[in-house]
């Protein structure tokens, strides 16, 4: 059991401020965590997607610690986080011009780009033996400053125990990893609430989305109208030899049984209420994840409001906390309203479908 240290970072400094006083404060709050990272420790930190669990990506012992703390399968590679584009040179081999354009357009931001890895520069545990590495630059002043101060490329998967929802609050990290990691930088709630979009380049004109996320398909199409965008993740469960090892794992599974209900709102409400009646007659604890517009329609033990159906960005921010809340309440059967797959809704439905183990009911 390790004593997990917590640093509370002033939310004020959690902006991209040029104010010298604030920068100094951020420095003093992060220097200890950065030194821990540099000396092989495990430090969780906020990003604009979810909380990450960081370790020096060059240090195999440190990286092995991530897999151990999370209970993560060793064939699932880690994303490397950088604060400065100049760090790329020593991590990767020459890459297509399109990758450069993606970085210019979307970094810092929730886009992970899979690039050819430079041999012997990163721990082989980071790449899980692949010849590529996923890299991104987070758009969050706390993570950027921590990465800068650590002076190392930082491998960082989501800071949850494997199979649990990703953490969107420092408290979630503490719930999962207290006593298993060296420190947590508490910078308040994360932004997007879902993990980064992972892309791979097939050639100069073809982009493959391996995992939908904070950078939407629409944003990619708008930025690169001439590039062919292939969605690898659509048939997640059918991929026999997945391009992205993470695809074959059931992530984000709540303890109870979750079903997604898709269809006309009225039908969805009628269906879910009927299921609630049945579950209650069997004395089961029930939960519903609903949009604000329909919350008052449901008579479950726990009804969680994920915001207006017109604000899917808010639903994305709330999803993982909601799944954790169901777990804590010991809910045995849950139903979630489906949403449109436009914009961030694409990533939201992808995570929801995974959490539900692909259990979708069409009404």
Chain residues in the site for ligand AMP (CB under 6 A): 76-79, 114, 127, 130, 132-134, 157-158, 195, 198, 210-211, 244-246
The span of 36-44, 152-160, 278-286, 355-363 binding Mg ion (CB under 5 A) equals: 152-160
- Residue 108: name its binding partner from Mg ion, ligand AMP, none (Cβ under 5 to 8 Å by kind): none
Nearer to Mg ion, 13 or 158 (CB): 158
Nearer to ligand AMP, 199 or 276 (CB): 199
Matching residue, tokens 């139903």: 335
- Residue 76: name its binding partner from Mg ion, ligand AMP, none (Cβ under 5 to 8 Å by kind): ligand AMP
- Residue 244: name its binding partner from ligand AMP, Mg ion, none (Cβ under 5 to 8 Å by kind): ligand AMP
Which of 169, 144, 9 shows the shortest CA–CA distance to 81? 144
Nearer to ligand AMP, 13 or 244 (CB): 244
150 lies in the site for Mg ion, by CB under 5 A: no
DSSP 196: P
- Residue 276: name its binding partner from ligand AMP, Mg ion, none (Cβ under 5 to 8 Å by kind): none
Q: Enter the tokens of residue 281.
A: 């007659």
Shortest CB 1 distance to ligand AMP, Å: 24
* Chain residue whose CB lies nearest Mg ion: 158
Shortest CB 246 distance to ligand AMP, Å: 2
Q: Are 361 and 260 in contact (CB under 8 A)?
A: yes
d(CA 229, CA 102): 13
* Chain residue whose CB lies nearest ligand AMP: 246
- Residue 312: name its binding partner from Mg ion, ligand AMP, none (Cβ under 5 to 8 Å by kind): none
| Residues in Cβ contact with 198 at an 8 Å cutoff, skipping those fewer than 6 apart | 79, 112, 114, 134, 209, 210, 211, 213, 244
Shortest CB 157 distance to Mg ion, Å: 5
Q: Are 68 and 99 in contact (CB under 8 A)?
A: no
Nearer to Mg ion, 183 or 246 (CB): 246
- Residue 78: name its binding partner from Mg ion, ligand AMP, none (Cβ under 5 to 8 Å by kind): ligand AMP
Backbone angles phi, psi at 8, to 5 degrees: -90, 120
Shortest CB 116 distance to ligand AMP, Å: 9
Shortest CB 316 distance to ligand AMP, Å: 15
Going by DSSP bridges, is the β-strand pair 333-337/197-203 parallel, antiparallel, or unpaired? unpaired
Cα distance between the two ends of the chain: 49
Strand ranges, E, within the chain: 5-8, 43-45, 52-56, 79-81, 111-116, 132-136, 154-155, 183-186, 197-203, 206-211, 228-231, 257-262, 286-290, 302-305, 333-337, 360-362
d(CA 340, CA 158): 25
Please say whether the dihedral angle defined by the alpha carbons of residues 114, 116, 119 and 121, taken in this order, is positive or negative. negative
Nearer to ligand AMP, 55 or 149 (CB): 55
Nearer to Mg ion, 121 or 243 (CB): 243
Nearer to ligand AMP, 195 or 327 (CB): 195
List the one residue from 4, 59, 158, 350 that touches Mg ion (CB under 5 A).
158
The span of 104-112, 151-159, 228-236, 237-245 binding Mg ion (CB under 5 A) equals: 151-159
Nearer to ligand AMP, 45 or 333 (CB): 45
Nearer to ligand AMP, 78 or 149 (CB): 78
Q: DSSP states of 103-167 as a string?
A: HHHH-SSSEEEEEEBPTTSS-HHHHTT-SEEEEE----HHHHHHHHHHTS-EE--BSS-TTSPPP
Which of 176, 150, 148, 165 shows the shortest CA–CA distance to 66? 176
> Where does this chain bind Mg ion (CB under 5 A)?
157-158
């Amino acid at each position: 059991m390790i004593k997990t240290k917590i640093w509370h970072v002033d939310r004020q400094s959690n902006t991209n401020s040029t104010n010298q006083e604030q920068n100094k404060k951020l420095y003093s709050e992060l220097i200890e965590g950065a030194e821990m990272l540099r000396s092989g420790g495990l430090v969780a930190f906020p990003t604009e997607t979810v909380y990450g669990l960081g370790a020096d990506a060059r240090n195999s012992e440190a990286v092995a610690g991530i897999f151990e703390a999370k209970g993560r399968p060793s064939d699932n590679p880690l994303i490397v986080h950088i604060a400065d584009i100049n760090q790329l040179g020593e991590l990767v081999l020459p890459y297509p011009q399109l990758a450069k354009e993606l970085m210019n357009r979307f970094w810092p931001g929730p886009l992970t780009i899979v690039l050819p890895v430079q041999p012997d520069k990163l721990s082989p545990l980071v790449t899980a033996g692949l010849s590529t590495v996923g890299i991104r630059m987070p758009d969050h002043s706390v993570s950027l400053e921590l990465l800068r101060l650590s002076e190392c490329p930082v491998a960082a998967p989501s800071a949850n125990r494997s199979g649990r929802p990703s953490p969107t609050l420092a408290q979630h990290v503490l719930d999962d990893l207290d006593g298993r990691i060296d420190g947590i930088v508490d910078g308040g709630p994360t932004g997007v609430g879902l993990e980064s979009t992972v892309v791979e380049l097939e050639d100069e004109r073809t982009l493959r989305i391996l995992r939908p996320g904070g950078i939407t398909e629409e944003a990619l199409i708008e930025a690169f109208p001439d590039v062919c965008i292939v969605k690898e993740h659509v048939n997640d469960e059918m991929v026999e030899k997945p391009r992205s090892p993470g695809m074959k794992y059931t992530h984000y599974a709540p303890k109870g049984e979750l079903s997604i209900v898709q269809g006309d709102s009225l039908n969805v409400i009628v269906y879910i209420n009927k299921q609630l009646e049945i579950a209650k007659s069997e004395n089961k604890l029930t939960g519903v994840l609903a949009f604000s517009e329909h919350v008052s329609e449901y008579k479950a033990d726990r009804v969680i409001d994920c915001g207006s159906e017109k604000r899917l960005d808010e639903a994305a921010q709330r999803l993982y906390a909601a799944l954790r809340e169901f777990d804590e309440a010991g809910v045995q059967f849950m139903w979630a309203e489906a949403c449109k797959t436009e914009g961030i809704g694409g990533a939201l439905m992808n995570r929801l479908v995974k959490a539900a183990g692909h259990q979708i009911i069409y009404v």
